[in-house]
Amino acid sequence: MQQNKKEDVLIIFKQLTTLTWPIVLAFLMQTSYNIVDLFWVGKIGPTAIAAVSLAGTIFYVILAVGQILGSGTVAMVAHAFGANLIDRANSIIKQSLFLASIIALLVSILGIIFTKQIMVLLGGRGEVLMMSVVYLRIVFVGFFFQLLSFSVNYGFRGAGDMKTPMLIMLVATIINIVLDPFLILGIGFFPRLEVQGAAIATTIAKCISFLFGFFILIKGKSGIKLNISERWFLETKVVRTILGVGIPVGISYALMGLSIMSVFRIVASFSDYALAALGVGNRILQLAGLIAVSIGISTTTMAGQSLGARDLKRTIQIGIISVISSVVLMVLCSGIFITHAHSLVSIFNQDPQVMMYGVEFLKIVSLYLAFTSITTSLTGVFRGAGNTLPPMFAGLCKLALLWTLALFFTQQLEMDVRGVWWAMFISYGIEALIITMWYASGRWQKRGLALLDNIR
């Protein structure tokens, strides 16, 4: 019996690793969008870095909208595959893509119209405001294609195919890396467009990557095949399930975005140097965070397929192994960031003030990575089960605590911007505690076993 248990653990760990590494590579490529932009924009100066970093916080809002579609899609497709309902999985992806096109068009239009108001709300002012508006207005066009890509990529992931989204992201990354220096700095016959050039390069890359993924979906891969000649329609129960599973996830990501935006708004009141340091530090932490998120996505697929096959015991094992693996990796990353903080910040900007704030940020905030690893792994199980309310409530608690502590530390205790860094560490820890307690209650299990009945 003990030998069988060890074999089960090894099988689950191997599958988790197999599914995770392509997602990590895909996210590394996606993160390179922002890092490459930041690197080349950094050649312009701290103000440009602050502008792109401030506008970049809107990515979390777009991510929230995309997760509404993607999370509902991956859960339903995973359950359908686990139950061997392949034709149903194909139908779900097609309807998800149709729904995404409607939502993406609305988001892009509203974003373009209200770009300036959004940046003012985030605390943008002066030259930072002007640059961020120019950058974001163009990027909102690219968001249309990015939102459509969520349905495509998460459809593949629900089927257990993580390599195709990686290839799609590779295409986008290459295009962005090639175009950035030419359009930002005006190399050769290209005009010097600065932050506007960064936005154009990113938008072109997002458009081409979606078209590439859409073509693969039409050709058929991993049991997923989109027949565009058949009638496009929406089933009420499919839409209801996608939104029912996805909206709490979208709210969770919106809360995460609001958390980051709250931090940016408070930090913006100190100086452009502190704001630039936050942007740099945040991008560095994303490199580790994407590993935890990737494990969480793999956990969603594995838990969803396991629940679709009505194997609750294996689903519980998946959750435990996912948490242990993620925590170990994040603790290692924290150690690297703390001991090499100065070198990492200097890659992006060597201004003394930016360096001072950035090093301090990494040495404090990187400690929270172990907390995020617990949250993302258990959230993966919740999403695979289609029970996405617990992570949403935990995220709400984190946001309220983060805002309260940041104001208290900076204003009442006069800790300067350092108080914001400690507020982040504490609030993320409380979020991990809440999600762990909810998972241990076991109330998600019934919901997970019932989801397949709603999509047959």
pLDDT in tens, 206-225: 999 999 988 888 887 767 78
User: Per the structure block, which two tokens stand in for 241?
Assistant: 């399930």
Cα–Cα distance for residue pair 217/287, rounded to 1 Å? 29
pLDDT in tens, 290-324: 889 889 989 998 988 888 888 888 888 999 999 99
Q: Look up the domain containing 425 and give its range.
A: 2-454
Instruction: Work out the pLDDT band at 2, boundaries 50, 70, 90.
Output: low
The pLDDT of residue 255 is 75
User: Per the structure block, which two tokens stand in for 286?
Assistant: 């994303």
The pLDDT of residue 4 is 59
Nearest to 264 by CA among 64, 59, 43, 116: 59
Other Cβ atoms less than 10 A from the Cβ of 452: the count is 21
pLDDT of 379 higher than 60:
yes
Cα–Cα distance for residue pair 449/444, rounded to 1 Å? 9
Better-scored residue on pLDDT, 345 or 223: 345
Contact 305, 380 (CB under 8 A): no
The number of domains in the chain is 1
Cα–Cα distance for residue pair 89/437, rounded to 1 Å? 33
Mean pLDDT of 73-84: 83
Instruction: Work out the pLDDT band at 452, boundaries 50, 70, 90.
Output: low
The pLDDT of residue 326 is 93
Instruction: Work out the pLDDT band at 454, boundaries 50, 70, 90.
Output: low
CA 168 to chain centre: 16
* Predicted TM-score of the model (pTM): 0.78
Contact 284, 336 (CB under 8 A): no
The pLDDT of residue 375 is 93
Mean pLDDT of 229-249: 84
The pLDDT of residue 434 is 94
Cα–Cα distance for residue pair 103/259, rounded to 1 Å? 24
Mean pLDDT of 198-205: 89
pLDDT of 365 higher than 90:
no
Contact 184, 193 (CB under 8 A): yes
- Backbone φ and ψ for 227, nearest 5 degrees, come out as -100, 100
Mean pLDDT of 389-410: 88
pLDDT in tens, 141-192: 988 998 898 888 888 888 888 888 888 888 888 898 889 888 988 887 888 8
Percent of the chain at pLDDT above 90? 15
Mean pLDDT of all residues belonging to the chain: 84
The pLDDT of residue 456 is 65
